[in-house]
Amino acid sequence: MVEQKRFEINITRPIPSADDKAYAEWFAWAKRGGAKAPACHSAAQGAFRALASGHDIATAVKWATAAMSSPPVAVDAGRQTYCAWFAVANIDMQLDTGRAHAFATAAVKALEMGANPAQAHNAGAAAAGLRRQG
């Protein structure tokens, strides 16, 4: 039998902030193209650097694409968790951006309250207006 690691998160600040939401959208943009999580974080960080420097979205896309070949800067647990749930909702479940944010927010809040991943998923689905088939 394979030992299972306990799923724990240590979120030390309110999630999501406006930056967490924007970051998650860039993360999902890269993930949609098939990138692995580290490259997705690098892409989001590259886009943020471009936008913070006053560049437009087209330049942010170029910087995000270029950044994917470099390792990302460390990302806190809250943002990583939010990105993962947002990507599940937006990509895997094909929810629109607003509903994907509602899903991710509720899932993270459920985890903060001690829920397991299945319970967090159910909380996210309910927040996004989905009915879970049983």
pTM for the structure as a whole:
0.86
- Tens digit of each residue's pLDDT (9 = 90 or more) over 69-95: 999 999 999 999 999 999 999 999 999
Return d(Cα 85, Cα 80) in angstroms, integer: 9
User: Does 132 map to a domain?
Assistant: no
User: Does 91 map to a domain?
Assistant: yes
User: Does 10 map to a domain?
Assistant: no
Residue 29's alpha-carbon distances to 34, 62, 65, 84, 116, in angstroms, are 9, 13, 10, 12, 27
Q: Are 45 and 67 in contact, with CB atoms under 8 Å apart?
A: yes
User: Does 75 map to a domain?
Assistant: yes
User: Does 3 map to a domain?
Assistant: no
User: Does 6 map to a domain?
Assistant: no
Return d(Cα 134, Cα 65) in angstroms, integer: 41
Nearest to 122 by CA among 101, 105, 107: 107
Per-residue pLDDT, 70: 95
Q: Are 123 and 107 in contact, with CB atoms under 8 Å apart?
A: yes
Return d(Cα 106, Cα 53) in angstroms, integer: 32
Per-residue pLDDT, 15: 81
Task: Look at the chain and report how many structural domains it folds into.
Answer: 1
pLDDT digit string (tens) for the chain, length 134 residues: 545 444 455 666 778 999 999 999 999 999 999 999 999 999 999 999 999 999 999 999 999 999 999 999 999 999 999 999 999 999 999 999 999 999 999 999 999 999 999 999 999 999 999 965 44
Domain that holds residue 95: 18-127
User: Does 30 map to a domain?
Assistant: yes
* Spatial CB neighbours of 124, under 8 Å, sequence gap ≥ 6: 85, 89, 102, 103, 104, 105, 106, 107, 110
